[in-house]
Structure 1
Amino acid sequence: MATVRVGIGCFVIKRVNGAVFFLLGKRQGSHGSGYWGLPGGHLDMGEDWSTCAARETFEECGIETDNIVFREATNDVFNPDLHYITLFHSSEIAKEFAHKPVRLMEPDKCQQWVWVSWQEFMENRAPLRDACIEHCFDAASQSEEISLDLLFLPLQNLKKKLQFCAESPVWLG
C-alpha cells in the first residue's frame, strides 16, 4: 500500500550587494532527475521540520544555516504511487559559511548548485552562478546562462501558488 511521505525543501538565502539569491540544485539519480530543486529531503520519524531542513542542507551542501522558518506547503502527487506533502522553509547561511563556496556533498544525487534570484526563478532563466566556486558573483564568471524550465514538482506547485509574486515573497528578503 502506498503512503504519503513528507518532504522538506529549504530556500537557503544569500545576500550579495543588497540583492537576495537562493540555492537551486540540478537533481540526478532519483525521481526528479534533470530537474531543478532546493536542498531538502525526507523528514525522519520524530524529527522537527526545521531540524530536518538544517540537516538536509548540511548533508547536501556542506553549509550550516540559521533562522530556519516554515513558509509554505504543497501537495505533490507525482503519480498514483508517489505522493508527498512538501514543507518549504527559508534560512540564512550561518555567518561562518557566508564567504565559503557551497560543496557538492552528494554528486550522485545533485549535479550542481547555483545561486538564483526570485525574478530569475520566475522568468526561468539565470546567469550561471556556480555556488561551488569562489567569486561566482563576479560578472566575468556569469557569461553562461542556464534554463530553469525544468523544476522539480514541489517547486512547480509552489511557483503556481506564488505566481502573483513578481517581486520575491517578503520572507525571501
Structure 2
Amino acid sequence: MATVRVGIGCFVIKRVNGKAYFLLGKRQGSHGSGCWGLPGGHLDMGEEWSTCAARETFEECGIQTDSIAYREATNDVFGPDLHYITLFHSCEVSKEYQGRPVRRMEPNKCLQWIWVSWQEFMSNRALLRDACTDNCFEAIDTPEVVNLEALFLPLQNLKKKLQFSSDPPSWLN
C-alpha cells in the first residue's frame, strides 16, 4: 500500500553585496532526475523539521546553517504510488561557513550546485555561478546562462503558489 511521505526542501541563503542568493542543485539518480531542486530529503521518524533541514543541507552540501525557519508546504503527487507533502524552510549559511565552497557530498544524487537570485528563479534563467568555488560571485567575461525551466515537482508547485509576485518573499530580502 502506498503511503504519503514527508519531504523537506531548504532555501539555503547566502547574501553577497546586499543581495540574497539560494542554492539549486541538478538532481540525478532518483525521481526528478534532470530537474533543479533545493537541498533536502526525507523527514526521519520523530525528527524536528528544522533539524531535518539542517541535517539534509549538511549531508548534501557540506555546510552548516543558522536561522532555520519553516516557510511553506506543498502537496506533491508524482504518480499513483508516489505522494509527498513537502515542507519548505529557509536558512542562512552560518558565519563560519561563509567563505567555504559548497561541496557535492552526494555526487550520485546531485550533478551540480549553483547560486541563484529570486529574480533569476522566477524568470527560469540564471547566470552560472559555480557554488563549489569561493569566487563564484566575481564578474566573468562571458557568463553562461542556465535554463531553470526543469524544476523538481515540489519546487514547481511552490513556484505556482508564489508566482503572483515577482518580488521575493520577505524572508529572502
SS across alignment from 2:58: helix
Q: Distance in 2 between matches of 1:142 and 1:62?
A: 29
**Residues 46 and 156 (structure 1 numbering): CA distance in 2 closer, same or farther, change over 3 Å?**
same
> Which amino acid letter does the alignment assign opposite residue 68 of structure 1?
I
SS across alignment from 1:96: helix
Moved over 4 A (4+): none
1:152 positional shift:
0.1
TM-score (norm 2): 0.98
1:52 aligns with 52
Q: Distance in 2 between matches of 1:141 and 1:41?
A: 36
Stretches of structure 2 lacking an aligned partner (at least 5 in a row): none
Deviations along 1:29-67, one digit per CA (max 9) or x if unpaired, are 000000000000000000000000000000000000000
Q: Distance in 1 between matches of 2:142 and 2:100?
A: 18
Q: How many residues align?
A: 173
Identity across the alignment (%): 76
After superposition, residues 1-173 of structure 1 pair within 5 angstroms as 1-140=1-140, 143-173=143-173
**Residues 151 and 94 (structure 1 numbering): CA distance in 2 closer, same or farther, change over 3 Å?**
same
Is contact 1:135–1:141 with CA below 8 Å preserved after alignment?
A: no
Q: Distance in 2 between matches of 1:75 and 1:3?
A: 13
Q: Distance in 2 between matches of 1:55 and 1:154?
A: 19
Q: Distance in 1 between matches of 2:142 and 2:53?
A: 29
Is contact 1:136–1:142 with CA below 8 Å preserved after alignment?
A: no
Q: Distance in 2 between matches of 1:99 and 1:108?
A: 25
**Cα-Cα RMSD:** 0.9
Q: Distance in 2 between matches of 1:34 and 1:147?
A: 12
Deviations along 1:51-110, one digit per CA (max 9) or x if unpaired, are 000000000000000000000000000001000000000000010001111011000000
